[in-house]
Structure 1
Amino acid sequence: MQRRACLSALAGGVAALLLSACATPTRTLPPSADRYWLGRLSLQTLTDQPQGFAAGFELSGQPARGELVLTSPVGSRIAEVTWNERQAVLSQGNQKQAYASLDALITRLTGTAVPVPALFDWLDGRATAVEGWQVDLSRQPDGRVSAVRQWPAPATELKLVFDASGS
């Protein structure tokens, strides 16, 4: 009877180990990053031919230096964006492209400008004003932020659902 209990416990442990191997690994936040968010984002550009983009995201760092990882709904890495004061780099698979600035890269990637420095503040619950943008932080404590840009054209809507960790 004891042997059966030991085998049952061992089988349960092996099953738990195998199941944990299928789980998405958690990222270790680099010690230099003072802010970190994990969640989903949706960016809609309202043009004659509306364009949309939705992805999971991990954002770490600060406006001057950081990293943004975009993932598919099943957790596959779509792209990684890293930036510093000198440049921004887009990595997709084995391909890397350098841009003069984060603004240039984001505009190229999404088709519209997104105010990344303000985005950090918005995620932190600070209503930093950006010309043309209206941010709604009423649900920020619940991990939801939305912002709409009316001008300059094209009109753009950004929605974020996130968990704040270490921010």
Structure 2
Amino acid sequence: MLSAALMTALAGCASPRATRTAGSQKTWSGRLALQVDGDPPQSFHAGFELTGQPAEGELRLTSPLGTLLALVQWSAEGATLTQGSQVTRHASVEDLVTTLGGAPLPVKALFDWLQDQPADVPGWSADLSRLSEGRIVAQRQSPAPLANLRIILDP
């Protein structure tokens, strides 16, 4: 279930009105929902806060009550996933999300979408038409499993 959440967060989008800058870092926050047509099918909903850029960043996933479910941090040195007291390390954020989600996810495209930039990612399509309302829908058609990601940004 958490792997689906991570896939969602790393395959999402956002609105320029929902960004804020802390130094040279941008931050996006809101809610996300991911449905994965895997075996078994998975569905996940969480709050998120994403800070950084494709080369270095941090993703926090929270429950509806604000409890931290997972923290993903990455840089040129690698990526870590922290869940409670458990920490796992990977060579890159791409390796981390591939291990958790079972397939590569478009981390760079996420940041492009968040900045209202189209990104050509094989197998993925993102609908940015409601970005001004803080809503994005991204779908993965291939490779399997199919996935549907919905993001609602905080105003």
Q: Is the TM-score greater than 0.5?
A: yes
User: Structure 2 residue aligned with 1:37, among 11, 28, 32?
Assistant: 28
In the alignment, what sits opposite 1:104? 95
Deviation at 1:123, TM superposition (A): 1.5
Within a 5 Å distance, the mapping from 1:11-160 to structure 2 comes to 30-33=22-25, 35-160=26-151
Going from structure 1 to structure 2, the CA distance change for 1:110 and 1:40 (only over 3 Å counts) comes to farther
Report the TM-score when normalising by structure 2.
0.80
In the alignment, what sits opposite 2:154? 163
Give 1:140's aligned amino acid: L
Q: Deviations over 1:23-58 (max 9, x none)?
A: xxxxx975341x210101112111242112221000
Going from structure 1 to structure 2, the CA distance change for 1:45 and 1:113 (only over 3 Å counts) comes to farther
Deviation at 1:83, TM superposition (A): 0.1
Bigger relative contact order, structure 1 or 2, given CA contacts below 8 A and separation 6+?
A: 2
Report the TM-score when normalising by structure 1.
0.75
| Greater C-alpha radius of gyration | 1
Give 1:103's aligned amino acid: E
Deviation at 1:96, TM superposition (A): 1.2
- Assess if the C-alpha contact under 8 Å between 1:123 and 1:145 holds in 2: no
Going from structure 1 to structure 2, the CA distance change for 1:72 and 1:29 (only over 3 Å counts) comes to farther
Alignment length, in residue pairs?
Answer: 136
- Assess if the C-alpha contact under 8 Å between 1:53 and 1:110 holds in 2: no
In the alignment, what sits opposite 1:6? none
The 1-side partners of 2:124 and 2:75 are apart by 24
The 2-side partners of 1:137 and 1:113 are apart by 21
Give 2:71's aligned amino acid: E
Deviation at 1:111, TM superposition (A): 4.0
- Assess if the C-alpha contact under 8 Å between 1:45 and 1:112 holds in 2: no
Structure 2 residues without counterparts, runs of 5 or longer: 1-19
Structure 1 residues without counterparts, runs of 5 or longer: 1-27
CA RMSD of aligned residues (A): 1.8
Deviation at 1:112, TM superposition (A): 4.0
SS in 1 for 2:129: coil
State the identity as a percent.
49
Q: Deviations over 1:100-149 (max 9, x none)?
A: 11112123334443211101111111111101111100101111111111
